[in-house]
Amino acid sequence: MTTSIHAFIDALPKVELHVHLVGSASVPTVLELSRRHPDSPVPTGEEELRAFYRFTDFPHFATVYESVSSLVRTPEDVATLVLGTARDLAAQNARYVELTVTPYTHQRAGMPMPAITQALNLAAREARERHGIQVAYIFDIPGEFGPEGCRRTAEHAVEHPPEALIGFGLGGIEQMRDGIRDEIREAFGRARAAGLHSLPHGGEMSGPATIWEVVEALGAERIGHGISCLDDPRLVAHLRETQIPLEVCPTSNVCTGQVPDLASHPLPRMLEEGLYVTLNSDDPPMFDTTLTGEYRVAADVFGFDREGLAGLARNTVKASFMDETGKKAVLKEIDALV
Protein backbone atom coordinates (compact mmCIF):
# COMPACT_ATOMS: atom_id res chain seq x y z
CA MET A 1 0.00 0.00 0.00
CA THR A 2 2.83 2.40 0.90
CA THR A 3 4.59 1.62 -2.38
CA SER A 4 1.38 2.30 -4.29
CA ILE A 5 0.68 5.66 -2.64
CA HIS A 6 4.32 6.72 -3.04
CA ALA A 7 4.16 5.86 -6.75
CA PHE A 8 1.01 7.99 -6.99
CA ILE A 9 2.81 10.88 -5.29
CA ASP A 10 5.78 10.55 -7.64
CA ALA A 11 3.45 10.76 -10.63
CA LEU A 12 1.34 13.60 -9.21
CA PRO A 13 1.79 16.90 -11.10
CA LYS A 14 2.88 19.51 -8.57
CA VAL A 15 3.24 23.23 -8.01
CA GLU A 16 5.53 24.85 -5.41
CA LEU A 17 4.52 28.20 -3.89
CA HIS A 18 6.82 28.54 -0.88
CA VAL A 19 10.49 27.86 -1.50
CA HIS A 20 13.41 30.23 -0.94
CA LEU A 21 16.20 30.65 -3.47
CA VAL A 22 19.12 30.25 -1.07
CA GLY A 23 17.32 27.62 1.00
CA SER A 24 16.67 25.57 -2.12
CA ALA A 25 20.39 25.14 -2.88
CA SER A 26 21.26 21.44 -3.01
CA VAL A 27 24.08 20.08 -0.86
CA PRO A 28 26.40 19.67 -3.90
CA THR A 29 25.69 23.27 -4.95
CA VAL A 30 26.40 24.63 -1.48
CA LEU A 31 29.61 22.60 -1.29
CA GLU A 32 30.69 23.96 -4.65
CA LEU A 33 30.12 27.51 -3.46
CA SER A 34 31.73 26.97 -0.04
CA ARG A 35 34.86 25.54 -1.68
CA ARG A 36 34.87 28.48 -4.06
CA HIS A 37 34.67 30.88 -1.11
CA PRO A 38 36.64 29.21 1.74
CA ASP A 39 36.52 32.40 3.86
CA SER A 40 32.88 31.55 4.62
CA PRO A 41 31.78 29.77 7.85
CA VAL A 42 29.93 27.19 5.72
CA PRO A 43 31.65 23.76 5.83
CA THR A 44 33.35 22.40 2.73
CA GLY A 45 32.71 18.71 3.53
CA GLU A 46 29.39 16.90 3.03
CA GLU A 47 29.06 15.35 6.49
CA GLU A 48 30.05 18.60 8.15
CA LEU A 49 27.51 20.50 6.04
CA ARG A 50 24.71 18.08 6.96
CA ALA A 51 25.61 18.56 10.63
CA PHE A 52 25.63 22.34 10.00
CA TYR A 53 22.00 21.94 8.91
CA ARG A 54 20.84 20.45 12.24
CA PHE A 55 19.02 23.40 13.78
CA THR A 56 18.32 24.01 17.45
CA ASP A 57 15.71 26.74 16.92
CA PHE A 58 14.64 29.38 14.40
CA PRO A 59 17.33 31.96 15.29
CA HIS A 60 19.95 29.24 14.75
CA PHE A 61 18.36 28.42 11.38
CA ALA A 62 18.39 32.13 10.46
CA THR A 63 22.11 32.34 11.29
CA VAL A 64 22.90 29.31 9.13
CA TYR A 65 20.73 30.65 6.31
CA GLU A 66 22.59 33.96 6.40
CA SER A 67 25.91 32.10 6.26
CA VAL A 68 24.81 30.20 3.14
CA SER A 69 23.50 33.46 1.64
CA SER A 70 26.97 34.92 2.04
CA LEU A 71 28.22 32.37 -0.52
CA VAL A 72 26.10 33.95 -3.26
CA ARG A 73 28.39 36.70 -4.49
CA THR A 74 27.93 36.97 -8.25
CA PRO A 75 25.01 37.04 -10.69
CA GLU A 76 26.26 33.69 -11.99
CA ASP A 77 25.80 32.26 -8.48
CA VAL A 78 22.20 33.53 -8.47
CA ALA A 79 21.45 31.91 -11.83
CA THR A 80 23.06 28.65 -10.70
CA LEU A 81 20.70 28.49 -7.71
CA VAL A 82 17.60 29.14 -9.83
CA LEU A 83 18.52 26.47 -12.34
CA GLY A 84 19.36 23.98 -9.60
CA THR A 85 15.94 24.51 -8.02
CA ALA A 86 14.22 24.16 -11.39
CA ARG A 87 16.10 20.94 -12.11
CA ASP A 88 15.27 19.44 -8.72
CA LEU A 89 11.58 20.36 -8.91
CA ALA A 90 11.20 19.17 -12.50
CA ALA A 91 12.53 15.77 -11.39
CA GLN A 92 9.62 15.68 -8.90
CA ASN A 93 6.99 16.30 -11.59
CA ALA A 94 6.59 19.97 -10.69
CA ARG A 95 5.24 22.17 -13.45
CA TYR A 96 5.55 25.62 -11.90
CA VAL A 97 7.33 27.30 -8.97
CA GLU A 98 7.03 30.69 -7.31
CA LEU A 99 10.56 31.16 -6.03
CA THR A 100 11.19 33.63 -3.20
CA VAL A 101 14.28 35.77 -3.71
CA THR A 102 15.68 38.17 -1.10
CA PRO A 103 17.46 40.62 -3.42
CA TYR A 104 18.71 42.89 -0.64
CA THR A 105 21.11 40.18 0.57
CA HIS A 106 22.61 40.02 -2.93
CA GLN A 107 22.77 43.81 -3.13
CA ARG A 108 24.69 43.83 0.17
CA ALA A 109 27.15 41.39 -1.42
CA GLY A 110 27.89 44.05 -4.01
CA MET A 111 25.66 43.00 -6.89
CA PRO A 112 23.91 45.84 -8.77
CA MET A 113 20.14 45.53 -9.11
CA PRO A 114 20.18 45.30 -12.94
CA ALA A 115 22.76 42.48 -12.81
CA ILE A 116 20.63 40.48 -10.35
CA THR A 117 17.58 41.01 -12.54
CA GLN A 118 19.43 39.91 -15.67
CA ALA A 119 20.58 36.72 -13.93
CA LEU A 120 17.02 35.95 -12.82
CA ASN A 121 15.66 36.57 -16.31
CA LEU A 122 18.21 34.34 -17.99
CA ALA A 123 17.73 31.58 -15.42
CA ALA A 124 13.93 31.59 -15.77
CA ARG A 125 14.22 31.25 -19.54
CA GLU A 126 16.78 28.44 -19.26
CA ALA A 127 14.65 26.64 -16.67
CA ARG A 128 11.77 26.52 -19.16
CA GLU A 129 14.02 25.42 -22.01
CA ARG A 130 16.12 22.84 -20.13
CA HIS A 131 13.69 21.48 -17.56
CA GLY A 132 10.20 22.35 -18.82
CA ILE A 133 9.27 24.18 -15.63
CA GLN A 134 7.92 27.69 -15.36
CA VAL A 135 9.65 29.90 -12.78
CA ALA A 136 7.98 32.96 -11.25
CA TYR A 137 9.60 35.17 -8.62
CA ILE A 138 8.57 36.74 -5.33
CA PHE A 139 10.83 39.45 -3.88
CA ASP A 140 10.77 39.48 -0.09
CA ILE A 141 11.92 41.94 2.54
CA PRO A 142 14.19 40.48 5.21
CA GLY A 143 12.18 41.83 8.15
CA GLU A 144 15.15 42.13 10.52
CA PHE A 145 17.18 44.42 8.23
CA GLY A 146 15.22 47.59 8.93
CA PRO A 147 14.28 50.55 6.73
CA GLU A 148 17.12 50.15 4.23
CA GLY A 149 16.12 46.57 3.43
CA CYS A 150 12.52 47.65 2.90
CA ARG A 151 13.39 50.61 0.71
CA ARG A 152 15.89 48.84 -1.51
CA THR A 153 13.74 45.71 -1.95
CA ALA A 154 10.81 47.86 -3.09
CA GLU A 155 13.09 49.91 -5.33
CA HIS A 156 14.40 46.76 -6.98
CA ALA A 157 10.89 45.32 -7.42
CA VAL A 158 9.48 48.47 -8.99
CA GLU A 159 12.43 49.92 -10.92
CA HIS A 160 14.34 46.78 -11.96
CA PRO A 161 11.81 43.91 -11.87
CA PRO A 162 12.57 40.53 -13.42
CA GLU A 163 10.20 39.59 -16.21
CA ALA A 164 8.66 36.84 -14.08
CA LEU A 165 8.20 38.86 -10.85
CA ILE A 166 4.65 38.31 -9.58
CA GLY A 167 4.74 39.01 -5.84
CA PHE A 168 6.17 40.90 -2.88
CA GLY A 169 6.79 39.21 0.47
CA LEU A 170 8.03 39.68 4.02
CA GLY A 171 10.22 37.09 5.73
CA GLY A 172 12.85 36.81 8.42
CA ILE A 173 12.43 36.45 12.17
CA GLU A 174 8.89 37.62 12.94
CA GLN A 175 9.75 38.76 16.47
CA MET A 176 12.33 41.18 15.01
CA ARG A 177 9.84 42.98 12.78
CA ASP A 178 8.51 45.06 15.69
CA GLY A 179 5.08 44.93 14.11
CA ILE A 180 4.35 46.23 10.66
CA ARG A 181 6.49 49.35 10.69
CA ASP A 182 5.84 52.35 8.44
CA GLU A 183 8.70 51.41 6.12
CA ILE A 184 7.20 47.93 5.59
CA ARG A 185 3.78 49.44 4.82
CA GLU A 186 5.37 51.90 2.40
CA ALA A 187 7.34 49.19 0.62
CA PHE A 188 4.27 47.00 0.21
CA GLY A 189 2.20 49.98 -0.89
CA ARG A 190 4.73 50.77 -3.60
CA ALA A 191 4.93 47.14 -4.75
CA ARG A 192 1.16 46.64 -4.79
CA ALA A 193 0.70 49.88 -6.73
CA ALA A 194 3.04 48.38 -9.33
CA GLY A 195 0.73 45.36 -9.65
CA LEU A 196 2.57 42.87 -7.45
CA HIS A 197 0.68 40.45 -5.20
CA SER A 198 1.03 40.69 -1.41
CA LEU A 199 2.54 37.39 -0.17
CA PRO A 200 4.02 37.88 3.33
CA HIS A 201 4.98 35.35 6.00
CA GLY A 202 2.94 35.32 9.20
CA GLY A 203 2.23 33.02 12.12
CA GLU A 204 5.24 30.78 11.57
CA MET A 205 7.22 31.39 14.77
CA SER A 206 4.85 33.77 16.54
CA GLY A 207 1.19 33.94 17.47
CA PRO A 208 -1.92 34.92 15.53
CA ALA A 209 -1.14 38.63 15.90
CA THR A 210 1.39 38.51 13.06
CA ILE A 211 -1.23 36.94 10.81
CA TRP A 212 -3.71 39.69 11.61
CA GLU A 213 -0.97 42.23 10.90
CA VAL A 214 -0.21 40.97 7.40
CA VAL A 215 -3.92 40.62 6.59
CA GLU A 216 -4.99 44.03 7.86
CA ALA A 217 -1.89 46.14 7.19
CA LEU A 218 -0.50 44.51 4.04
CA GLY A 219 -3.59 43.07 2.34
CA ALA A 220 -2.09 39.56 2.23
CA GLU A 221 -3.41 37.50 -0.67
CA ARG A 222 -1.60 34.38 0.58
CA ILE A 223 0.17 33.80 3.87
CA GLY A 224 3.47 32.02 4.36
CA HIS A 225 2.96 29.31 7.00
CA GLY A 226 0.10 30.73 9.14
CA ILE A 227 0.15 27.69 11.41
CA SER A 228 -0.53 29.63 14.64
CA CYS A 229 -3.92 30.76 13.35
CA LEU A 230 -5.60 27.93 15.26
CA ASP A 231 -4.88 29.74 18.52
CA ASP A 232 -7.42 32.44 17.61
CA PRO A 233 -10.99 31.27 16.82
CA ARG A 234 -11.89 34.68 15.38
CA LEU A 235 -8.92 34.48 12.99
CA VAL A 236 -9.84 30.93 11.99
CA ALA A 237 -13.36 32.15 11.17
CA HIS A 238 -11.93 35.02 9.12
CA LEU A 239 -9.56 32.76 7.17
CA ARG A 240 -12.34 30.25 6.58
CA GLU A 241 -14.64 32.96 5.26
CA THR A 242 -12.07 34.70 3.05
CA GLN A 243 -10.28 31.50 1.96
CA ILE A 244 -6.90 33.23 1.99
CA PRO A 245 -4.49 30.41 1.05
CA LEU A 246 -1.94 29.31 3.65
CA GLU A 247 1.45 28.04 2.46
CA VAL A 248 2.08 25.19 4.89
CA CYS A 249 5.52 23.54 5.18
CA PRO A 250 5.38 20.71 7.77
CA THR A 251 8.98 19.46 7.83
CA SER A 252 10.29 23.02 8.01
CA ASN A 253 8.17 23.70 11.10
CA VAL A 254 9.60 20.65 12.85
CA CYS A 255 13.21 21.40 11.90
CA THR A 256 13.02 24.99 13.18
CA GLY A 257 11.28 23.94 16.39
CA GLN A 258 7.85 25.44 15.75
CA VAL A 259 6.15 22.08 16.35
CA PRO A 260 7.64 19.15 18.29
CA ASP A 261 7.19 16.50 15.60
CA LEU A 262 5.30 15.77 12.40
CA ALA A 263 2.54 13.88 14.18
CA SER A 264 1.78 17.08 16.13
CA HIS A 265 1.62 19.31 13.06
CA PRO A 266 -1.63 21.30 12.74
CA LEU A 267 -2.09 20.78 8.97
CA PRO A 268 -4.84 18.13 9.31
CA ARG A 269 -6.77 20.26 11.79
CA MET A 270 -6.41 23.32 9.56
CA LEU A 271 -8.15 21.39 6.79
CA GLU A 272 -10.81 20.15 9.21
CA GLU A 273 -11.49 23.79 10.09
CA GLY A 274 -12.18 24.53 6.42
CA LEU A 275 -9.02 26.57 5.83
CA TYR A 276 -7.37 26.84 2.44
CA VAL A 277 -4.16 24.82 2.79
CA THR A 278 -1.38 24.41 0.23
CA LEU A 279 1.63 22.11 0.67
CA ASN A 280 5.19 23.34 0.18
CA SER A 281 8.84 22.62 1.07
CA ASP A 282 10.32 26.01 2.19
CA ASP A 283 14.10 25.26 2.28
CA PRO A 284 14.21 21.60 1.27
CA PRO A 285 17.93 20.62 1.35
CA MET A 286 18.38 22.42 4.67
CA PHE A 287 15.52 20.38 6.13
CA ASP A 288 16.43 17.12 4.37
CA THR A 289 13.14 17.08 2.47
CA THR A 290 11.69 17.69 -0.99
CA LEU A 291 8.29 18.74 -2.31
CA THR A 292 7.62 15.06 -2.99
CA GLY A 293 8.74 14.35 0.56
CA GLU A 294 6.11 16.71 1.94
CA TYR A 295 3.39 14.82 0.05
CA ARG A 296 4.79 11.60 1.52
CA VAL A 297 4.48 13.13 4.98
CA ALA A 298 0.84 13.92 4.19
CA ALA A 299 0.28 10.27 3.26
CA ASP A 300 2.47 8.45 5.78
CA VAL A 301 2.00 10.66 8.84
CA PHE A 302 -1.34 12.40 8.28
CA GLY A 303 -3.03 9.47 6.53
CA PHE A 304 -4.08 11.23 3.33
CA ASP A 305 -5.37 8.99 0.56
CA ARG A 306 -5.05 9.67 -3.17
CA GLU A 307 -7.98 12.05 -3.29
CA GLY A 308 -6.69 13.93 -0.25
CA LEU A 309 -3.25 14.29 -1.81
CA ALA A 310 -4.77 15.37 -5.11
CA GLY A 311 -6.85 17.91 -3.20
CA LEU A 312 -3.71 19.47 -1.76
CA ALA A 313 -2.15 19.55 -5.22
CA ARG A 314 -5.27 21.18 -6.68
CA ASN A 315 -5.32 23.78 -3.89
CA THR A 316 -1.73 24.69 -4.62
CA VAL A 317 -2.36 25.07 -8.34
CA LYS A 318 -5.43 27.25 -7.79
CA ALA A 319 -3.64 29.44 -5.23
CA SER A 320 -0.76 30.10 -7.63
CA PHE A 321 -0.46 33.08 -9.96
CA MET A 322 0.10 30.91 -12.99
CA ASP A 323 -1.97 32.00 -15.99
CA GLU A 324 -5.41 30.41 -16.30
CA THR A 325 -4.43 28.27 -19.29
CA GLY A 326 -1.53 26.81 -17.33
CA LYS A 327 -3.71 26.17 -14.29
CA LYS A 328 -6.32 24.34 -16.34
CA ALA A 329 -3.65 22.17 -17.95
CA VAL A 330 -2.12 21.09 -14.62
CA LEU A 331 -5.53 20.51 -13.03
CA LYS A 332 -6.48 18.36 -16.00
CA GLU A 333 -3.30 16.32 -15.47
CA ILE A 334 -4.13 15.82 -11.79
CA ASP A 335 -7.69 14.73 -12.57
CA ALA A 336 -6.46 12.29 -15.19
CA LEU A 337 -4.04 10.71 -12.73
CA VAL A 338 -6.71 10.35 -10.04
Residues serving a catalytic function are 204
CA distance readout (Å), 314 to 65, 302, 317? 31, 18, 5
Residue 145 DSSP code: G
Residue 84's φ and ψ, nearest 5 degrees, are: -65, -40
Residues 120 and 137: beta-carbon distance below 8 Å: yes
Q: Which of 99, 136, 96 is nearest to 329 (CA)?
A: 96
- Can you point out the beta strands (E) in the chain? 14-20, 94-101, 134-142, 165-171, 197-198, 201-202, 223-225, 246-248, 277-279
Going by DSSP bridges, is the β-strand pair 201-202/197-198 parallel, antiparallel, or unpaired?
unpaired
Residue 305 DSSP code: -
